[in-house]
């Protein structure tokens, strides 16, 4: 039984959700009190963003065995993403009570609280860090945790020291040259001439048919992490006609699927000139259908995809959905990069653990966005985070006008909207607009020279 549960856990973590759930059902049919199987079913539902069912499974696991910290941690994550931060804190604290070195719970707790005095948790973390008994990954989580607490307490030198060690001990590696090569290939492929050829008939790309779907439903939010994108998604999702779909992988997956159809093998986007229009149309329609399914029977006119790395794929998005809205959320580069450096990303953002890599990626992003603006003009709508927090209503009105949405007052009280939030910004979007993150980098200026020098080039 334990071997099956371990296998199911690995499958769930690798995204093979159907297989993981099938194994859990088999286990539970023979062992109805197998708490580990309920925990994995919770992880499966969590990945599917079915939070209420996930919580039910985690609570069942806790009922069958209330001595495992991981079960409480998982339930706490669900409460966090549903906006129940006080309840989430109770679960994280219980996890720490059961397992004093459960490092992820320390970080999750620190992320959803604001500390105004020297909490006893500081002593607990410092004792653990000096024990010499932790694995490097645990140490990384704990350094991020105490870094966040010292940042709240405005002890900035101490905070940065811990964040720097936490990033170093994360063990995450990044070859920034891969991103630079990718961006260079994108700019070489997506030219004005290429897009005109895609539109024209009799071009070998399609027998006079237009590529993609003419749907106006897709809205894409792109940008760098920690730039206010979750805030903008929350504002849009507070509109009655809009569904926030989260960070979808559809566009990246479509690029990979298209690559598999080409011989000889080429990487995206080098093969796009041989993809027929009708193939792009089929993928666009499939993408829309997945978004409808995600709405769970509710009717929405628009769907927001907040996969920020789609700034690499704006050309493909334009081919799939020529009428899509593309919102580019910008923030002071030093502030956004610093915030990334202070965030322990679990997956997908391997450049965030080194200041120079963050600067290089920021340069890549800005260069690509300049390229897309030159091709697509005002089809890309820029929102500056600092402008939004200084005049929320004016920025919100401009945003809704660009999306061709009527004004709704609920978009101003976005923090009251009940929906799951699956990013490092979950605490911020539960609060009204605040300005304390503007020019935060100045508290850490003396530590940021590697980043500042990279951004200058």
pLDDT in tens, 379-424: 999 999 999 999 999 999 999 999 999 999 999 988 776 645 444 4
Q: Is residue 315 very low, low, confident or very high in pLDDT (cuts 50, 70, 90)?
A: very high
In 273-375, at which residue ranges do the beta strands (DSSP E only) sit? 302-305, 325-330
Tokens 């700019």 map to which residue?
187
R_g over Cα of the chain:
23
Q: For 186-195, what is each residue's pLDDT tens digit?
A: 999 999 999 9
Q: What is the pLDDT of residue 314?
A: 98
More confident residue, 64 or 204: 64
Residue with tokens 């003009």: 377
pLDDT surpasses 50 at 207? no
**DSSP per-residue codes, 163-176:** HHHHHHHT-----H
pLDDT classification of 299: cutoffs 50, 70, 90: confident
Tokens representing residue 357 in the block: 């890599």
Tens digits of residue pLDDT in 111-124? 999 998 889 999 99
Q: Give yes or no on whether 2-99 and 176-456 have one common fold.
A: no
Q: In the CATH scheme, what is the code of domain 2-99?
A: 1.25.40.10
Q: Do 452 and 110 form a contact (C-beta atoms < 8 A)?
A: no
In the 8-state DSSP scheme, what is residue 210? P
The count of other CB atoms within 10 Å of the CB of residue 22 is 14
What are the domain boundaries of the chain?
2-99, 176-456
Asked if residue 298 lies in contact with residue 243, where contact means CB atoms within 8 angstroms, the answer is yes
Residues 6+ apart with CB under 8 A from 310: 220, 222, 251, 252, 317
Tell me which H or E stretch contains 223.
Answer: strand 218-223
The residue with greater pLDDT, 324 or 426, is: 324
CATH architecture of 176-456: 3-Layer(aba) Sandwich (3.40)
Question: Which conformational region is residue 17 in: left (phi greater than 0), alpha (psi within -120 to 50 degrees), or beta?
Answer: alpha
The strands making up 242-244's β-sheet, listed across from edge to edge, are: 242-244, 302-305, 218-223, 325-330, 380-384
CA dihedral 347, 349, 353, 358 (to 10 degrees): -170
3-state secondary structure of 390: helix
Average pLDDT, the chain: 91
323-369: per-residue pLDDT in tens? 999 999 999 999 999 999 999 997 779 999 999 999 999 999 999 99
pLDDT in tens, 54-80: 999 999 999 999 999 999 999 999 999
Tokens, residue 163: 């964040």
pLDDT in tens, 122-166: 999 999 999 999 999 999 999 999 999 999 999 999 999 999 999
Show the CA angle centred on residue 197, arms to residues 365 and 257, nearest 5°: 60
Q: Is 286 exposed, middle or buried (0-12, 13-18, 19+ CB in 10 A)?
A: middle
* Of the ranges 34-38, 49-53, 227-231, 288-292, the best mean pLDDT one: 34-38
Q: How do 380-384 and 218-223 pair as beta strands?
A: unpaired
Residue 316: closest CA among 177, 417, 212: 212
pTM of structure: 0.90
């Amino acid at each position: 039984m334990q071997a099956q549960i371990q296998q199911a856990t690995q499958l769930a973590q690798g995204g093979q959700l159907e297989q993981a759930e099938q194994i859990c059902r088999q286990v539970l049919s023979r062992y109805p009190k197998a708490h580990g199987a309920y925990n994995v079913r919770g992880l499966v539902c969590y990945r599917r963003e079915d939070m209420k069912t996930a919580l039910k499974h985690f609570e069942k696991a806790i009922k069958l065995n209330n001595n495992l910290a991981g079960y409480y941690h998982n339930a706490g994550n669900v409460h966090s993403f549903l906006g129940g931060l006080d309840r989430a804190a109770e679960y994280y604290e219980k996890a720490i009570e059961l397992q004093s070195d459960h490092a992820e719970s320390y970080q999750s707790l620190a992320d959803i609280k604001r500390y105004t005095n020297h909490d006893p948790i500081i002593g607990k973390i410092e004792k653990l860090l000096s024990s010499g008994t932790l694995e490097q990954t645990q140490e990384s989580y704990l350094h991020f945790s105490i870094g966040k607490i010292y940042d709240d307490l405005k002890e900035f030198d101490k905070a940065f020291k811990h964040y720097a060690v936490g990033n170093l001990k994360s063990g995450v590696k990044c070859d920034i040259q891969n991103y630079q090569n990718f961006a260079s290939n994108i700019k070489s492929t997506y030219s004005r001439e290429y897009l005109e050829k895609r539109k024209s008939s009799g071009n070998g790309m399609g027998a006079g048919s237009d590529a993609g779907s003419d749907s106006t439903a897709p809205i894409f939010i792109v940008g760098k992490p920690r730039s206010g994108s979750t805030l903008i998604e929350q504002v849009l999702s507070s509109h009655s006609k809009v569904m926030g779909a989260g960070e979808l992988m559809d566009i990246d997956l479509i690029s990979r699927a298209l690559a598999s159809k080409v011989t000889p093998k080429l990487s995206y986007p080098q093969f796009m000139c041989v993809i027929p229009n009708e193939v792009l149309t089929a993928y666009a329609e499939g993408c829309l259908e997945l978004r409808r399914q995600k709405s769970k029977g509710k009717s929405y006119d628009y769907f927001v995809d907040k996969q920020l790395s789609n700034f690499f794929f704006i050309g493909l998005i334009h081919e799939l959905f020529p009428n899509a809205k593309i919102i580019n959320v910008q923030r002071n580069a030093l502030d956004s990069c610093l915030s990334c450096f202070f965030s322990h990303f679990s997956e997908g953002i391997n450049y965030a653990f080194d200041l120079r890599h963050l600067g290089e990626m920021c340069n890549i992003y800005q260069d690509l966005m300049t390229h897309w603006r030159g091709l697509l003009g005002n089809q890309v709508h820029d929102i500056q985070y600092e402008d939004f927090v200084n005049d929320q209503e004016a920025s919100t009105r401009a945003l809704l006008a660009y999306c061709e949405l009527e004004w709704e007052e609920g978009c101003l009280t976005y923090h009251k909207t009940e929906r799951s939030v699956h990013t490092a910004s979950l605490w911020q979007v539960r609060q009204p607009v605040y300005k304390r993150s503007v020019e935060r980098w100045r508290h850490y200026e003396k530590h940021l020279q590697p980043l500042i020098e990279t951004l200058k080039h």
